[in-house]
Amino acid sequence: MKSKLFVPGSRAELFAKSLASAADAVSFDLEDAVAESRKDEARGILGEFLRAGGVVASGQTIIVRVNAMDTPHFEADVRCVVHPGVDVLNLPKPESADHVRAAVASIERAERANRVAVPVGLLLNIETPGALRTAVELARSHPRVVGLQLGLGDLFEPLGISRREPSAIRQAMFAVRMAAAEAGVYAYDGAFADIRDIEGFRAEAELARDLGFLGKTCIHPSQVAIANDVFRPTEAEIAHALKVVEATREADAQGVGAYVVDGRMIDLPFVLRARAIVASARGLGLLPP
């Protein structure tokens, strides 16, 4: 899931276009992208589209960002959008592990009502100081949690922290990545609001990639190709990873624990990374199965 394209839940004319895009995932948004006065309307539009089942054939990961649990819209959102073909619900501003478990209970009720056989996962937004501090507990709160998503705008702006402050961005990213790693889920990067700043988007995506994030949120189709390019393993990375995997086979056969590839000492952590790169390259069709 290198790229995730946000689509306002009130913009039905964009639904089919988003499913035909190069984004790995499409995230239909009922929260920030929809004005309060249009919440009910958007929920109905999106619910009808999802019930029609067209999302299944897209091959993309289908995500819906619902409204937060402390709003009057959450329960209605969940009942309306949990349908076959929806893979993940994106939950804004989770406050505690109990909060997450209550969200799961709502999802389970909707699954039974709408005859959803495949459990829907949860992607938790880390966008408040409390959520950042307790990110590990949130991620561990239920097996349905598949990832943590960093929301820098919501996290920084109310506190007067510049959204473009490099040290603050790096620290927040690192904290979320470590929390996700400890919980055994993925970390996903949030949105970059300045659509015109292509280089800024790329630089932030590259930082997220270097810190081990799975991919980046896109709020405009023009950002999708950049995210796909940044989070794709490079030819040099693939070539080195293949050398490491082959050297590991030879070392295992000879009973050697540590060895050198391309002038670098290799042991288990580097082997695991190499195997992950090879698996990613194969999944993207960059290597034969």
pLDDT for residue 171 is more than 90: yes
Kindly report, residue by residue over 254-275, the tens digit of the pLDDT: 888 788 998 888 888 889 889 9
Kindly report, residue by residue over 105-160, the tens digit of the pLDDT: 999 999 999 999 999 999 999 999 999 999 999 999 999 999 999 999 999 999 99
Higher pLDDT, 88 or 288: 88
Which of 186, 214, 230 lies at the terminal end of a domain, its last residue? Answer: 230
Q: Is there a domain that residue 288 lies in?
A: no
What pTM was estimated for this model as a whole? 0.91
Spatial contact of 60 and 23, defined as CB atoms under 8 Å apart: yes
Closest Cα to residue 150, out of 122, 131, 137? 131
Q: 249 with 126, same domain?
A: no
User: So what's the pLDDT on residue 251?
Assistant: 85
Q: How many CB atoms lie within 10 A of CB 153?
A: 14
* DSSP code per residue over 194-261: -TT-HHHHHHHHHHHHHTT---EEESSGGGHHHHHHHTSPPHHHHHHHHHHHHHHHHHHHHT-S-EEE
User: So what's the pLDDT on residue 138?
Assistant: 98
Counted domains in the chain: 2
Q: What is the CATH number of the domain that holds 175?
A: 3.20.20.60
SS3 label, residue 102: helix
Strands 145-150 vs 3-8: parallel, antiparallel or unpaired = unpaired
Portion of the chain with pLDDT greater than 90, in percent:
81
Portion of the chain with pLDDT greater than 70, in percent:
100
Q: 174 with 119, same domain?
A: yes
Spatial contact of 114 and 154, defined as CB atoms under 8 Å apart: no
d(CA 231, CA 209): 6
